[in-house]
Amino acid sequence: MNIFQMFWEYRTYFASGIQYTLLLAAIGVVCGFILGMLVSLLRMSRFRILRFIGTVWVEFLRGTPMVVQLFIIHYGLVSVGIKFTPIESGAITLTINSSAYLAEIFRAGIQGVDKGQAEAARSLGMTGGMTMRHIVLPQAVKSVLPAIGNEFITIIKESSIVSFIGVTDLMYQAQAVNMITYDFLTPLLIIAAIYFVMTFTLSKLLGLFERRLNTDDHR
């Protein structure tokens, strides 16, 4: 059986895997976006304890393998009475891991905003919170949108680890086809091609969006 015949015959397997892969990646980036924003603010807080919490969060999650984090959440927490479904464990793992990287992206974006704008806003009577919410954050988010898109691409690829705990993503479905056909190479080549198509397409769309933003800025 060649690669095209296998893809067509087991298309429902691969289609299901694509759905779960994209779903988990979307949850990871959207929730990671919110959590990462909060962590970046902690890292820039004037209170030492908050900065410490933010720093520990980022350094621990960036310094440990994602598969270890996944196993801690899905298997380790059961010992203390906390149990998640495979989908929940995968979504939580991708969210917290993504938040650590997005926090640093946001921090760089916030620090890149001209400090003179914040000073001007405060001189007009805006509080620090209002300045951050209405002046600094909108500009910071806009400047780091391409990096957020790149994180989405990264999460799509790294989401394959959730197959270890039984989530029926692309990797899991490839293994299922392996067991049916006893062909261990072709299903992997198929999902490699699918991953490439998804990430390449998204990369091109992000490039188009970034050029659109640059064009709007120059007007």
CATH code of the domain containing 30:
1.10.3720.10
Question: Residue 17's closest CA among 181, 183, 205, 176?
Answer: 176
Give the domain extent around 201.
Answer: 8-218
CA distances from 84 to 33, 78, 87, 201 (A): 22, 8, 8, 33
What is the structure's pLDDT at 54?
94
Report residue 117 as tokens: 């704008």
Residue 3 lies in a domain: no
What is the structure's pLDDT at 217?
58
Answer for the pair 165, 70: CB distance below 8 angstroms, yes or no: yes
- Of 1 and 30, the structure prediction assigns the larger pLDDT to 30
Answer for the pair 40, 99: CB distance below 8 angstroms, yes or no: no
Instruction: Supply the pTM of this predicted model.
Output: 0.87
Residues 48-76: tens digit of each pLDDT: 999 999 999 999 999 999 999 999 999 99
Residue 117 lies in a domain: yes
What is the structure's pLDDT at 84?
95
**Token pair 């062909």: residue:** 183
DSSP assignment of 160-205: GGGGGGT--SHHHHHHHHHHHH--SSHHHHHHHHHHHHHHHHHHHH
| Averaged pLDDT for residues 122-143 | 77
Beta-carbon contacts of 113 under 8 Å, excluding residues fewer than 6 positions away, are 135, 136, 139, 140, 143
Residue 1 lies in a domain: no
Amino acid 185 reads L
Residues 75-123: tens digit of each pLDDT: 999 999 999 999 999 999 999 999 999 999 998 888 887 777 777 777 7
Residues 137-173: tens digit of each pLDDT: 778 877 788 888 888 899 999 999 999 998 989 999 9
Residues 5-25: tens digit of each pLDDT: 999 999 999 999 999 999 999
Q: Name the helix (H) or strand (E) containing 21.
A: helix 11-43
User: How many domains does the chain contain in total?
Assistant: 1
What is the structure's pLDDT at 207?
82
Residue 2 lies in a domain: no
What is the structure's pLDDT at 218?
54
Answer for the pair 52, 39: CB distance below 8 angstroms, yes or no: no
Rounded CA-CA distance 211/204 in Å is: 11
Asked if residue 214 has pLDDT above 90, the reply is no
What is the structure's pLDDT at 201?
92
Asked if residue 219 has pLDDT above 60, the reply is no
